Amino acid sequence: MRKNRRMITTSVFLFLVLSCLGGCSSSDGSHATSDAQTATAAANIAGTSGENAGASDSHRETITDVALPEESGTITYGNEAVSIDASNTADGYVMIRYQGASDMAKLQITIPDETVYTYTLLPDTDSAFPLSGGDGTYSIAVLEHAYDNMYAMAFSQEISVTLADEFRPFLCPNQYVWYTKESQTVQLGISLSDQSADDLDYVQNVYNYVIEHITYDKEAAANISANYIPDVDATLASGKGICFDYASLMTAMLRSQGIPTRLDVGYSGTAYHAWISVYLKESGWVSGIIEFDGKNWTLMDPTLAASNSSKEVKKYIGDGSNYTVKYVY
C-alpha cells in the first residue's frame, strides 16, 4: 500500500558503492554490436579455448534457449507511478517499473537479513532485480527524487519469498547483468560452449577470453557515475571496462549457459571492488573467480587476472587480498 509521502535521504552507501565501483521468457535486446565485431569476436575464440576442449572429443551441452525474466501479471502491486510484478519470486527476481513524473527514482530492496540494496530506476523501463537473500520477507521501496539529495516515498511493499532452489537468483539476467537471446555476449558464450568439453572447461574458456580481450579502463574508473549500470555488449564491443564491467560480462556469459554465477560486490583490502563466484557440480560454490590448474583453484578475479597488474590499476581496485562480500547480485 502507498505510505504517506515523507522526505528521506538516499542511503549513503549507494554513493559509496557506485563511486568506488569506478521461470523466465524472451525479451528484446537493448544493446548490440555490429556483424563485423561479432565475426571478430568469434574468430578470436579459437585462440582462447582451453586445452581440455582440444584434448577431448566430448562436448558440453550448449544452451541456446536462454532463460530470461518475465512479467507474468499474476501477482502485482503498485500505483500510478510504480508497477511491481512479483509473479516469479520463486525464480529469484522481481520486475519493477517506474513511470512517475520525477526526473529520477531509486529502488531500495531490504533482504531478510536487513541488508539494503539500492538501485537507480531507469524511467519507463521494466527491469529485473534479484532476490539474492534467500527465503524470507523482502521490503521494496521506490523513492522519487524531490530536490538535492532528498527523495520522497512513492510506494512500498513487503513480499514473502520462497525460492524454488538456492541457484535461481543467479541464473537469470538482472539490471546489473542484463542480456537477451540476441545479445552478442550470449552468442559469444554459445560459441565458446561449443568448443568446451564440460562446465569446468567452459568456465576456463570464458575466463581466458575475458582477461585476454578486455583491458582495464582507468579513465572510466576515475570518473565513474553514481548511477553507473554495466552494459555487457558495450564492454565486449569496446574491449575495455572497469571491475564492474568485467564481473558483469563474465556473469552474463556463464549464467546464459546455465552455470549459477554470483556477481559479488565488496572490498578487496580497502578498495571497493566487484568480482564473481561460480557454482560447479564438482566443487560447489567457488568464491572469487579463480584460476584452475587442473588440480587446484586459485583465487583470481577477472580484473586482476587481466593484463592490469600495474600500480595504476591497483590504486582503483586493490591488490586482490582480503575479499569481503557486501552485496550479491
The stretch 280-306 carries a mean pLDDT of 58
The stretch 170-185 carries a mean pLDDT of 97
Looking at per-residue pLDDT, the higher value among 256 and 264 belongs to 256
The stretch 312-317 carries a mean pLDDT of 46
Kindly report the pTM of this predicted structure. 0.78
Considering 25-29, 208-212, 306-310, the range whose residues carry the highest mean pLDDT is: 208-212
Considering 23-27, 144-148, 215-219, the range whose residues carry the highest mean pLDDT is: 144-148
pLDDT of residue 283: 79
How far, in Å, CA of 272 to CA of 176, rounded? 16
CATH class of 35-64+173-328: alpha beta
The three-state secondary structure class of 306 is: coil
pLDDT of residue 284: 85
Cα→Cα distances 302→1, 52, 153, 220, 305, Å: 43, 20, 38, 17, 5
The stretch 119-132 carries a mean pLDDT of 96
Mean residue pLDDT across the chain:
79
Contact call for residues 248 and 255 (beta carbons, < 8 A): no
With a CB cutoff of 8 Å and minimum separation 6, the contacts of 218 are 312, 313, 316
The three-state secondary structure class of 301 is: coil
What pLDDT digit, counting tens, does each position of 45-60 carry? 333 344 444 445 688 9
What pLDDT digit, counting tens, does each position of 191-211 carry? 999 999 999 899 989 988 988
Lowest average pLDDT, out of 34-38, 155-159, 290-294, 304-308, goes to 34-38
pLDDT of residue 246: 87
To the nearest 5 percent, what fractions of the chain are helix, strand and coil? 30, 30, 45
- Say whether pLDDT at 21 is over 50: no
- Say whether pLDDT at 234 is over 50: yes
pLDDT of residue 118: 96
What pLDDT digit, counting tens, does each position of 52-102 carry? 444 456 889 999 999 999 999 999 999 999 999 999 999 999 999 999 999
Query: How is the chain split into domains, by residue range?
Result: 35-64+173-328, 70-164
pLDDT of residue 3: 41
Name the CATH topology of 70-164.
Answer: Immunoglobulin-like (2.60.40)
How far from each other are the two terminal CA atoms of the chain, in whole angstroms? 27
Cα→Cα distances 311→13, 307, 308, Å: 27, 12, 9
